[in-house]
Chains A and B, each alone.
Chain A
Amino acid sequence: MKTLPKLAINRLRERRPLDAAAVDRFLARHEVPIVEGARCTFLYRGEADEVFLIHRIFGLPDHLPLRRLRGTDLWYAVLELPEGSRVEYQLEVAFADGRRERINDPLNPRLAHSPVGSSSVCYAHGHEIPDWTVDDPEARPGSLVDMVVPSRALRRDCPVTLYLPARFRRADPGTRYPLLIVHDGGDYLRYAAAKTVLDNLIHRLDVAELVAAFVYPGDRLTEYANSAAHARFLTAELLPRLEAELPLAGTPSGRCLMGSSFGAVASLSAAYRHPGVYGSLLLESGSFVFTDIGHDHGGGPVFEPVVRFVNRFRAAPRRVADRMFVSCGVYEPLIVPNRSMVPVFEAAGMTVRYVEARDGHSWENWRDRLRDGLSWIFPGPQKYIYE
């Protein structure tokens, strides 16, 4: 039987003298977390009573204790992560005076950002950040244009950011662009590099030249939780205005609603309320929480309207679009509802492409699935090009 090489932390444990200078040298030599094959060693250095690794990997205890290396102020925990995994985490440090602090890993400069703050990131062995998610000087940049759509349905002025592809031709009568409407638009632009991704994927011919409308929620947990007003805003106010003002395809196959988490619920709900309008849905880590029996869904009051909607959909599945791209991270609790919804969507007669990733409920996960989703929904002209 092949024996695994000794972990760096275990080699350090055997070192004598094991003093502060040895720990200094150890930390100077390694990136943290230390990734050795499937095993990742998380570290914290400092005086504390207890230290915990806090993560949201579904299936593991969310507080994993770090052990103190005897005679030092170095704490460690080893976690096995499958190939290609990406995990966001923080550390919780308990002090002797009773204080508890939750912090990003001070030894790890890699951070992920989201509307609720930042967290540290561990990239397991085999994980690669897709090159199409970073700025490519060869890719001609599209432009972002802000507009405001007054909404009677939502009783507010709704800001919308339009993405126009690099060679956008407003007056060319032969050109009709597909339209992608993106929920949580500001977050997709800021945390999922949506503009860079669109620029790159269009440049590489993976995705068709398209117009994207990034919409911003008001009261998100109300508007995105199966709200008739939100669906009306999208379909009866935003869509007609965009199709009147821009050279858009104006057909179901040229319209896609996209969102993640509650934004995916909002996409499904709008298509459900207006079947036949949207040909495609791109749903990332949808909050499709439901109950098979009883009322205990574990999501709290904000999920009540979502659960009612998803339960109703599951009881009487309806074909709300032609095609659905559905993705979810295997480390998020929503993996079970998402896996459960795929056969329901298929049974309703929709063509579903379902993708899982070893990732969590995070903007980088949603960013990294965009090529799979967008190239399937609005494929670029690559198959026509033979240079």
Chain B
Amino acid sequence: MLTAGFALAFFYAPTDADQGIIQKIFYVHVPMAIVALCGFVAGAVFAVQHLRTRERKWDMRSYVAIHLSIVLAVGVLVTGSIWARASWGQWWVWDEPMLVVFLIVFLLYATYQPLRFSIEDPEKQSRYASVFAITAGAFVPLCFGAVRMAENLTHPQAGTMTTSGPGSVTLTFLVSLVGMTLLFVTLCKYEMASKNATMKLRSLKRRLAGDDDFGAAEPARSAAPQH
């Protein structure tokens, strides 16, 4: 699906009149940004579920969603920077609220992993991480809402760009968006599967070792939730 989106982007969608070929990055940058932000919000929703039900799987989902969104956010910042260099002539533009807000959100979420990592008790770790995810998750729509209100029009809005353009742009954009979402969901599935397998392996090993060196056997090497 993502490949289809990119193929459409290159061969089907018309090249922008004043930006030329570089405008194609739009089909990567914007879906990635939207999916990353939705991932952050989804992380917050899962965290609410975790605090309500106290089930470990929700914490795991919240962790995985936020983890992958951080990765996407790095991609957004890099592609956005390249695009800005090409179309505005500068790598970074400070008087542009959209960029600044995205950077702030990214910096905030960058502390998620160190926060998890520096709490030792796994039960407490998941609870605190959930609280953080909820607070930060509420911060994301607030910031972007504020930006929409105090609009500065240099940063092209995804909506105006798709509706004002010809139909092929809209189609390509939607295909890319769906493709990016599917990529995100698939990666989440994979990471969860791998985490579950690691967990199962660890508990089996522990049973094999006769439970005598419980917990002391392996120092935690990642901030991921673990049994």
Q: Do A and B bind each other?
A: no
Binding site for A on B (CB under 8 A): none
